[in-house]
Structure 1
Amino acid sequence: MRLTGLSLHAAHLHLPAHRETADPRTVSRDGYRALTVSADLPPPELAVRAATGALVAARWPASTLDLVAHAWIHHQGHDFWSPAHYLAHRLGAARALPVGVRQMCNGGVAALELAATRIMADPATERALVTTADRFAAPAFDRWRADYGVAYGDGATALLLARGDGPYRLLSVASTAAPELELMHRGDDSFGASPGAVIDVRRTKRAFLAAGHGPRFTRTANDAVCRVVRQALAEAGEPRVHAVALPRLGGAVLDDGYRPGLRAAGLRRAAVLRFGRGTGHLGAGDAAANLAEMAHLRLLRPGQVALVLSAGAGFTWSCLVVRCAY
């Protein structure tokens, strides 16, 4: 989807101060050095802090927001409740439409797509806030061992989108899905009547791999990465790419599921950026966190273009194309 006349006016990453250090085996195997850990704040409060930082940076009053889209993958602190509405309430975004987005780890980009589409289609929607927040607290979630090749950190992100000029121009976003791969996170488990007490991603993945689906998943993932990159670049006008930001996953996952697709898409000279070694995977927030870090570190000069890749269980893959404006 070509994004016409849209800019990113602020990107903010809020990380808890506390970190858990990785053991040498994890550093060697997955590349993570530490994970960010929220000792007390629940995810919606982390999102409030990220959103406040973005609003201050852009000098936008929360009362001027028309849309608040919030994405997450894990428990937000209450059952049968809307964290998106809480966020709008806490910020004072009284006129905004709050929307919750659950597309697993691709939720941040899915929420951005939703906001961008709404702004382009509806003249009455001028300003949108897109947030993500997750906290992977024990004992329900073992952030180091619940999954293969991925360790999970706590944190929140906030993006501000609007028409007109901003520090980063949004050029395009492309997404593709392979819904038959939802089996990876369902495995052999029967449907339950209530949530489980402990999240064990490895159990369903073991069943998926034992059934012989591993090679098909890898092929599908690389084909999807290649396809969304090519589509996003074509819709952006085939700009020269300076850098590619990968999700905050372990090194082996990136080597198997992302790098071959990038090579197949012809991106052999662009710098490959990995930001997650000191945070871990931030749930739905990897893409937005990477945008925020690129902006904070000034990794792009005016006119330079970056790709931001994202994926989530189900499976869906996305590619966002951004250009630094100033």
Structure 2
Amino acid sequence: MRTSGVYISAVGVDLPDCADVQQAIEDGLLDAAVAEESGFIGVAVAQDTPAPEMAVRATRQALERWTGDPSELGALFYVDSFPSGPAGWLPQSYLMREVVGGDLLAVGVRQGCNGVFGALELAAAYLEGTPAEAVLITATDNMSSPLVDRWRSSPGYILGDGASAAILTSSPGFARLLSVTSMTVPGIEAVHRGTQSLNPSTLPTGQKLDLGARMEEFRLGGGDYSELVSKSRQAQNELLAAALDEARIDIGDIKRVAFPHGSVKNVRAGATALGFRMEQTTWEYGCRVGHVMASDQLLSLDHLLHTHEIGPGDRVLLMGYGPGLGIAAAVVEITDRPHWLARTDGQNDR
């Protein structure tokens, strides 16, 4: 999707304190060999802080940085990967009551770790197709549920907690959204389903999330991992070509690329396959906070801004992967130095 006149005017984050991976090894939560191979150093852990509360904090920070009027918001896209709160309840309504107010379209977006990209596409289309001046995207997750083992549930990842927010506007902001696009490879959908039933009534109560076990079920059921790798690589190459074409730039124009916060092996493989160097990725940041689900890319963008690793004129590629298999990309061009950095030089207001 080639966007025209869609800007990012503010981002906000809420990241809890990080648990030390070495301590997790000593506590028997993670195998030392697995930890060493992953390269992770720390992971953000929110303990009992509800995901919607982190969303409130990230949204408040984004609104403060924006300095706009919340009444200008035309829509809210609330992204989460794991259920939070009572069954049958919608967290986006809570966010509206606590922070945003008003009478606006409030939509929940659940695309796993690709949720922010789906929200970006929806937000861009909304801004371009309505008189709305601004749209809010919020992503949040707390993976401290007893049904999730953050250290082992997803091979190649250590699951972190946190929230992020972005305000997209039709008037100039610190960055311009040049393109956002996504692709699904349904032929390998079963890799995240395994042999699990599609009927909730047949599933055991309190079933734990174990993507590794599902991948093994996929393999034992005749799933071909070589085909999976081949199809996913082909899809991501096609997606990158489309994203660059829609943004009207070449791959050499990209300064930094933010992948999901996976293991060093995963990030290196993704970077190499697409033609990027590891130094261009945000691995050095991601290995310290873990895979914060759908928030990884916005957290990385915020980090790059605060550390002055990107500035006006730089293009940043955001890459996402989610169950399905979903692949997504967005190209962002920094057009100005965020005004809030001028008052936080030498400190971090996150």
For residues 118 and 163 of structure 2, the distance between their equivalents in structure 1, rounded to whole angstroms, comes to 16
For residues 57 and 211 of structure 2, the distance between their equivalents in structure 1, rounded to whole angstroms, comes to 29
Cα offset, 1:270, TM superposition? 7.9
Cα offset, 1:97, TM superposition? 1.1
Any idea what the Cα deviations from partners look like across 1:286-313, whole Å, max 9, x if unmatched? 2222222222222212111111111110
Q: Is the 8 A contact 2:78 2:138 kept in 1?
A: yes
Any idea what the Cα deviations from partners look like across 1:1-55, whole Å, max 9, x if unmatched? 1110111001122101252434353442111111111122111110000000110
Identical counterparts, % of pairs: 31
Task: Describe the SS at the equivalent of 1:98.
Answer: strand
Check 1:249–1:18 CA distance in 2 against 1; reply closer, same or farther (3 A cut).
closer
Check 1:130–1:255 CA distance in 2 against 1; reply closer, same or farther (3 A cut).
same
Q: Which residue identity does 1:319 align to in structure 2?
A: A
Residue 323 of structure 1, aligned match among 312, 333, 336: 333
Q: What residue is the counterpart of 1:262 in the other structure?
A: 274
Check 1:270–1:150 CA distance in 2 against 1; reply closer, same or farther (3 A cut).
closer
Q: Work out whether 1:84 is the aligned partner of 2:92.
A: yes
Question: What RMSD, in angstroms, separates the aligned Cα atoms of the two structures?
Answer: 1.8
Q: Work out whether 1:174 is the aligned partner of 2:181.
A: yes
Written as runs of structure 1 = structure 2, the 5 A alignment for 1:131-170 is: 131-170=138-177
For residues 43 and 20 of structure 2, the distance between their equivalents in structure 1, rounded to whole angstroms, comes to 5
Q: Which residue identity does 1:12 align to in structure 2?
A: G
Cα offset, 1:268, TM superposition? 5.9
Written as runs of structure 1 = structure 2, the 5 A alignment for 1:56-135 is: 56-123=64-131, 125-135=132-142
Q: Work out whether 1:309 is the aligned partner of 2:319.
A: yes
Q: Work out whether 1:292 is the aligned partner of 2:302.
A: yes
Q: Is the 8 A contact 1:184 1:205 kept in 2?
A: yes
Q: Which residue identity does 2:112 align to in structure 1?
A: M
Q: What residue is the counterpart of 2:229 in the other structure?
A: 218
Cα offset, 1:197, TM superposition? 3.2
Written as runs of structure 1 = structure 2, the 5 A alignment for 1:180-259 is: 180-191=187-198, 192-193=200-201, 196-210=206-220, 211-239=222-250, 240-256=253-269, 258-259=270-271
Q: Which runs of 5+ in 2 are unaligned?
A: 26-31, 337-350
For residues 13 and 227 of structure 1, the distance between their equivalents in structure 2, rounded to whole angstroms, comes to 31
For residues 185 and 145 of structure 1, the distance between their equivalents in structure 2, rounded to whole angstroms, comes to 15
Written as runs of structure 1 = structure 2, the 5 A alignment for 1:9-24 is: 9-22=9-22, 23=25, 24=32
Q: How many residues align?
A: 321
Check 1:247–1:105 CA distance in 2 against 1; reply closer, same or farther (3 A cut).
same
Q: Which residue identity does 2:4 align to in structure 1?
A: T
Q: What residue is the counterpart of 1:33 in the other structure?
A: 41
Please, what TM-score do these two structures have when normalized by structure 1? 0.93
For residues 88 and 238 of structure 1, the distance between their equivalents in structure 2, rounded to whole angstroms, comes to 38
For residues 18 and 107 of structure 1, the distance between their equivalents in structure 2, rounded to whole angstroms, comes to 23
Q: Which residue identity does 2:119 align to in structure 1?
A: A
**Structure with more strand by fraction:** 1
Any idea what the Cα deviations from partners look like across 1:141-172, whole Å, max 9, x if unmatched? 10001121111000000001001211111111
Please, what TM-score do these two structures have when normalized by structure 2? 0.87
Residue 47 of structure 1, aligned match among 49, 55, 58: 55
Any idea what the Cα deviations from partners look like across 1:55-107, whole Å, max 9, x if unmatched? 00111233332111011111212211111121112113322211000111101
Q: Is the 8 A contact 1:26 1:32 kept in 2?
A: no
For residues 200 and 78 of structure 1, the distance between their equivalents in structure 2, rounded to whole angstroms, comes to 22
Check 1:172–1:63 CA distance in 2 against 1; reply closer, same or farther (3 A cut).
same
For residues 269 and 17 of structure 1, the distance between their equivalents in structure 2, rounded to whole angstroms, comes to 26
Q: Is the 8 A contact 1:69 1:130 kept in 2?
A: yes
Q: Work out whether 1:273 is the aligned partner of 2:285.
A: no
Check 1:61–1:197 CA distance in 2 against 1; reply closer, same or farther (3 A cut).
farther
